Each structure stands twice: as C-alpha cells, then as structure tokens.
Amino acid sequence: MIRRLYRLWPNPKLLARLWLLTAGQAVLQGLLLALLIPILDALVRPEPDIGAATPWLVLGAAGALLYAVLSVIATPVGFAAAGALAAQLRRKLMHHVSTLTLGWFTAEHKARLARGVTADVGSAAHLAVTIGGPVITSTLLPATVVIVTFTVDWRMALLLCAIALVAYLALRRAARIAEISEIELERAAAGVASRAIELGQAQPVLRAAGHAEGTPRMRAALEDHRETYREGMRRARQPFFVYTGVIMAGFVAVLALTAQLMLSGRVEAATAIVLLVLAARFLEPLGNLIELIGALRALRNQIARIEELLSTPTLPVPAEPVRRIAEADVEFSDVTFTYPGGDTPALKEVSLHCRAGTTTALVGPSGSGKTTVTRLIARFFDIDSGALRVGGVDVRELDPGTLLDEIAIVFQDVYLFDDTIEDNLRLARPEATWDELREAATAARLDEVIERLPAGWQTRVGEGGAQLSGGERQRVAIARAMLKRARIVLVDEASSALDPENEAAITRAIANLGDDPDRTVIVIAHRPATLAAADHVVSLEDGRVMETGTREELLLTGGAFSRLSSQYERARHWRIADMSG
C-alpha cells in the first residue's frame, strides 16, 4: 500500500512528515504507559514513597507535554497535506487524460473520469492523511504496549500476542469482505453515473420519446446500486461481530489471567493494576482497527481506480518525433481501420491523396466512412494497417502538438464556450490582433452575424453556443479555423436543412477557406455548391473508395457519385418547393 501511495505521490514529503509525527505520538503513548510501572510500584504499597515516584511523575508530565506539542504540529500538517495531495493528483490525471485518444471518451469512461477526478482523488488524499495516523496508532501502540508488558510479566505479554494473532486473522477476513463490497458498490455507482451522463446528453431525444425522467436502463442501474449497497451492508455485519467478539473474549482472558496471577501470588496488586492498564491500552486501539479496515480497503480501491485511469495507454509517441512538415498534403495508402470494440472495419484499404492547397470533398451515403477519414487525419484513433501521411510523414511519427497546430476542425455540431464571440474566436489564437479577428470573421461570413447581435463581439453565446443557430455556430468555427492559420482544415458540413442565408454564407465561407493556396481543405460535403467548389471529389461507400476525380469527371462516369449527386439535387428541389409552397 505504501509503495502504491508512493507511486501516486512520488514527492511524499508532506505524508512522510505527517506519518512520522503520528508514529512518534504512538510510541510516546506506549512509553508513557511504561512509566506507570515505577510510579505505581512506589505508590501502591502500605507506605507510599512519593520521593521515589516524583522523578517518574516529572518525566511523565514532560512526555505528556511533548505529546500535546506533537498533536498541535500534526493537525495543520494533515490539513495542508490533504489539499496538496489532491491537487497534485488531479493535475496528474488531467495531464494524462489530455494525451489519450479521443475515442476513449465514451459515456462510461467520462463517468469514470468524473468520479476519479472528484470523488476518488479527494477521498484518497483525505484518507491517506486521516487514516494513516489512526492505522499507525492502532498498530504501533499495541506493539509498544506488548514490548512494555514483556518487561512486567511474560505470561500476560504472550496472551496479548495470542489475542493479536486471532484478531489479525479475523481482520483479514473482514477486510476481504469489505473490499468485495466496495468494488461491487463502485461498479454499481459507475453504472448510475454513466446512465446519468447519458440522461443529460440525450434529454432532447428522451423528451421526444416521453422518457425525460430516465430510461428503464437508468431505473435498473439505480435499483442495482440500492441492492448492492444493501447486500454489502448485510455481508459486512458478520465479520464485524466476529472481530468485536474476539476483542471482548481477549478482555475476558486478560481479566482471568490477572486474577489467576494475583490469586496464585505471582504478582502483587500494583503490578496487577499495571497489567490491566496495559491490556486496556492494548485492546482499545486494536478494537478500532475494524472501523479503519473498511476505510483502508476503500482507499486501496480508490488508488486502484486512479491507477487504472493513469495507466490507460496514451497515443504512442516516438522518442524523436517530427516537429515540422514542409507541405500540408494528406495521403492514405491502403488504410484499414476498425473502431475499438467494432467487428467490421469502418475503412477498408482506403487510398486517397489530398494535395497541398486543394479542396477535397468527401461524399458517400451515411455510414460510408467519411467522418472516420477526418478523425484518422486528426489522429483521434490510430489506423490498423496501411499508412497515413501528413506532409509526407506518418502521423504516428509526428509530434502530437505539431499535428494539432497544423489542423483545424469544423464539426457539424459546433460546441462553443459560454463566453463572448471574441473569446470564442481567440481560443484559436489568443494573441490575434483586432484586424486579424475582423478579417477572419469577414472571410467566414461571421461579420454579418456579429452586426446583428445586441452586444456585437462582446455578446455571450450561452452554454454550448445556444444563443446562435447551427449555421451561425459553424461560421464561428470556420472563423476560428481561419484565425488559427492551420494548413489543414477538416470540415463536416451541416447536413441538416439550413435557411438559405446560412447555407449560402457557409458555402462561401468554405470556398474562402479553400482560396488560400497554402491551405488544404477536406470537407464532408452535403451540398452541390460545396461539391462544385471542390478541386477533387472522393466518393466512399461501405468504407471503400469507389471513385475519385473532379466533379465533372465523376458525373460523366455515371457511377455512385453521379447517382448521389442527382439525389442531392432532387432533395434541394424538394426543399425549394417546400419553402415556396
């Protein structure tokens, strides 16, 4: 356990100081008890000898004072340690999570992360500080008392050793049961937490389906949690009673042995009193161990969960990654990729080349692999076979920071922070000048949106950007991409119907992105106008590249793309007819 704590907190000065103080207190308590022997020996006799007892009494008073001083020092050290340890561990976890593949962030993992960063870290740091003291006291104090007892009466010392052995065996069993209960309770709690995240994220869908208060899965998770808790309590009862019974029986045995020793004349009254006091100071902390064992096992499980998060494999990075690319072209060669946990590949032997400075449109039916192509370029996941090169360098050889600097992503569903338009844009380049901000906004056709907003650039966009329409949010994302000066921009064009103004603005904004001769644009295209503006079209179906070429070339072949194109046109005419009808 100590080794695992050390791995979590490799700079354990605070903990070491605290535990050292506590250990000092425990040994001191035991030694103070030892002073009872000469004191009682001098006082409990027909003619008490105060003179002989005085030096021991003075030593005892000094020891008690030292004990009080140690307590005063230990309390603030404990508080400071708990806060500092939690902060250290949170930083470590956050840093680690920022290096994981984005594919890791499922509802279940998000729930585990939330519990890890909040409850587990807070509780582990608190327990490491608060439990360390009592555990040290509850083991070191009885051990010191046994040693002291050996100097008084070896028979009583042996009895205490026997009690300690039986108590240890009972405690081990209780600990095993407490651990199983804690693991099961945590599993049930994680189930509830991931259902709760799902409940929050899927509220619109759930409301539409009349399940706003939760799905049957959510209710089942809550029921499972309640049942697990009840079962855990039931299971923990029996070892608790057994342990308490062992301590009680130990006390009866101590009384019986003391009586027997006195009656047989082997010890005097003063020694008998000393033995009883020592036995009481031995049994009391030992008895407390059962209360601590549950917390100790909880600490162990919390550490295990934090360790599991920290050991989630990060994206492999070579020892000497490439930090610069000359050209911003993107090339897939025979790339095959299956999502973690998936059974069929989302991309099968895909080869395509997006030349630097060009715009490539990805088209294909739903599920054909368009989004997957863009996710792999941004290295949300690593490919299974083939090669994926950016600027002629395998993405796995590139420094992750360099890759992220070179890439900007415009998602279909853009998330904005509940901040002003200005700050949402500055996220891409905090030091951008006002001229640069305005230029990006104009190119993304965001300027006309800003003009209409009540506080212009300083308008807050609400949580997730709720104050803006979907099309307006995409314009913010395009402006961010412009401002970032990323040489590769991945765009997932909104597939849902936009009003004509937004549609025209976004088409223009995407074309403006492509106008920069240094910028390579890869766009999942849903609109004929976007296709028309692309230099190159890649048509996907069922994870394979079916056709590539210019829009005109593909229309002439009469293949999958030309069929899809007529569908786009038909859908467009329906919408125009709908609006005018």
Ligand X SMILES: Nc1ncnc2c1ncn2[C@@H]1O[C@H](COP(=O)(O)OP(=O)(O)OP(=O)(O)O)[C@@H](O)[C@H]1O
Task: Give the interface with ligand X as residue ranges (CB under 6 A).
Answer: 339, 342, 346, 364, 366-372
For ligand X, which is the closer residue by CB, 200 or 367?
Answer: 367
Instruction: Identify whether the C-beta of residue 404 lies closer than 8 Å to the C-beta of residue 485.
Output: no
DSSP letter for each residue of 168-228: HHHHHHHHHHHHHHHHHHHHHHHHHHHHHHHHHHTHHHHHHTT-TT--HHHHHHHHHHHHH
How distant, in Å, are the alpha carbons of 127, 159, 485 from that of 284?
21, 15, 69
Q: Shortest distance, CB of residue 386 to ligand X, whole angstroms? A: 16
Q: Shortest distance, CB of residue 108 to ligand X, whole angstroms? A: 13
For ligand X, which is the closer residue by CB, 25 or 372?
Answer: 372
Q: Shortest distance, CB of residue 343 to ligand X, whole angstroms? A: 9
Please, which residues have CB within 8 angstroms of residue 320's CB and are 6 or more apart in sequence? none
Write the DSSP symbol of residue 104.
G
Q: Shortest distance, CB of residue 540 to ligand X, whole angstroms? A: 7
For ligand X, which is the closer residue by CB, 101 or 420?
Answer: 101
Amino acid letter at 126?
H
Q: Shortest distance, CB of residue 432 to ligand X, whole angstroms? A: 32
Residue 510: which H helix or E strand, with range?
Answer: helix 500-515
Q: Shortest distance, CB of residue 315 to ligand X, whole angstroms? A: 16
For ligand X, which is the closer residue by CB, 359 or 371?
Answer: 371
For ligand X, which is the closer residue by CB, 97 or 346?
Answer: 346
Q: Shortest distance, CB of residue 92 to ligand X, whole angstroms? A: 27
**What residues pair up with 409 in beta bridges, in sequence order?**
490
Please, which residues have CB within 8 angstroms of residue 94's CB and are 6 or more apart in sequence? 117
How distant, in Å, are the alpha carbons of 66, 171, 360, 407, 459 from that of 443?
74, 71, 19, 18, 20
Angstrom distance (rounded) from CA 513 to CA 521: 7
Q: Shortest distance, CB of residue 348 to ligand X, whole angstroms? A: 11
For ligand X, which is the closer residue by CB, 288 or 336?
Answer: 336
Q: Shortest distance, CB of residue 214 to ligand X, whole angstroms? A: 24
Q: Shortest distance, CB of residue 449 to ligand X, whole angstroms? A: 26
**Of 23, 24, 32, 28, which Cα lies nearest the Cα of 274?**
32
For ligand X, which is the closer residue by CB, 346 or 432?
Answer: 346
Q: In the sheet where 407-410 sits, what is the strand order?
A: 407-410, 488-492, 520-524, 359-363, 536-541, 544-549
Q: How far is CA 201 from the centre of its chain?
A: 19
What three-state secondary structure class fits 489? strand
The pair of structure tokens assigned to 379 is: 């290295």
Q: Shortest distance, CB of residue 388 to ligand X, whole angstroms? A: 15
Angstrom distance (rounded) from CA 421 to CA 398: 32
Q: Shortest distance, CB of residue 372 to ligand X, whole angstroms? A: 3
Read off φ and ψ for residue 521, nearest 5 degrees.
-110, 130
Angstrom distance (rounded) from CA 276 to CA 258: 7
For ligand X, which is the closer residue by CB, 144 or 371?
Answer: 371
For ligand X, which is the closer residue by CB, 22 or 371?
Answer: 371
For ligand X, which is the closer residue by CB, 10 or 342?
Answer: 342
Q: At what angle do helices 13-34 and 269-310 cross, to 10 degrees?
A: 170
Residue 546: which H helix or E strand, with range?
Answer: strand 544-549
Instruction: Identify whether the C-beta of residue 317 lies closer than 8 Å to the C-beta of residue 400.
Output: yes
Angstrom distance (rounded) from CA 552 to CA 534: 11
The angle at the Cα of 547, spanning 544 to 550, to the nearest 5 degrees, equals 140
For ligand X, which is the closer residue by CB, 244 or 495?
Answer: 495
For ligand X, which is the closer residue by CB, 366 or 433?
Answer: 366
Instruction: Identify whether the C-beta of residue 503 lies closer than 8 Å to the C-beta of residue 326.
Output: no
- The residue assigned the tokens 């050991």 is 311
**What residues pair up with 322 in beta bridges, in sequence order?**
398
Q: Shortest distance, CB of residue 495 to ligand X, whole angstroms? A: 7
Q: Shortest distance, CB of residue 307 to ligand X, whole angstroms? A: 26
For ligand X, which is the closer residue by CB, 272 or 346?
Answer: 346
Angstrom distance (rounded) from CA 424 to CA 416: 7
What three-state secondary structure class fits 470? helix
For ligand X, which is the closer residue by CB, 130 or 474?
Answer: 474
